[in-house]
Amino acid sequence: MLNAAVKTKADQRCENAHIENVSAHGKKAAILKKQTDLAIISELTAKDAASAVEKLCKLSGKPAEIAEAVRGVFGQKLIRRLCERCKQPYRPNPKLLKKVGLDESVTTLYKHRKFNEEEDARPCKVCGGGGYIGRIAMLELVEMTEGMKALVAKGASAADIKAQARKEKMLSFKDDGLRLVAEGTTSLEELQRAFRS
Ligand SMILES: [Zn+2]
């Protein structure tokens, strides 16, 4: 089925093909065989982007092949959005900003407002009193730069890949999550919860 899908895309002269979850070795081998023909976008279930690269190398058994074939891996983690109608602004303590890694120039952060029977006549109409509504993805990226390629080809661990990504200042879940907190899209509390779970 995968080969058929790739072939159809190639016949249609598409530049990209999207292949769902890569879990089996056979699927991965078929994808790698096609990688010179077209750009393939695929999915893999893993804890984060660095772990996905490690997993792909283990599935293949040939890390050097993965280092050559993969251009980059995006990770996404969902986080709850604050309700725009009832979120509560507060002025963060500069010490707290420093501790969590937020810029000192951030003067307002937001927290959720939970329905309180004693103070509120009725729950918020938008979120029903939970303080959050909907979710948004935090993104991270492991890009196959020359430095990353050399490391992955040697069969590096997820921790080593992560360290290299940090060194090369690639987007991380933490950076992207902090950006969402600074923008007021989510709360610091929710970000901490997402990292605990
Ligand atoms: Zn609300």
Say whether both 39 and 136 belong to one domain.
Answer: no
Indicate if 30 and 106 belong to the same structural domain: no
- Residue 69 sits in the same domain as residue 7: no
d(CA 5, CA 2): 5
Distance 133 CA to ligand 1 centre (A): 8
CA 51 – ligand 1 centroid, Å:
36
- Where in the sequence is the domain holding 21, given as residue range(s)? 1-43
Identity of the amino acid at 137: A
Helical packing angle, 2-11 and 25-34, nearest 10°: 20
> Number of structural domains, the chain?
2
Q: Mark whether 71 and 135 lie in a shared domain.
A: yes
What digits encode the pLDDT tens for the residues 118-169?
888 889 999 999 999 999 999 999 999 999 999 999 999 999 999 999 999 9
Between 129 and 10, residue with greater pLDDT: 129
Looking at the structure, do residues 58 and 99 belong to the same domain, yes or no? yes
- Determine phi and psi for 135, rounding to 5 degrees: -135, 160
For residue 158, the CA-to-ligand 1 centroid distance in Å is 39
pLDDT score at 29: 61
Q: Are residues 141 and 84 in the same domain?
A: yes
- Dist. CA 139 → ligand 1 center (Å): 25
| 107 and 31 in a common domain | no
Closest of 137, 153, 155 to residue 145, by C-alpha: 153
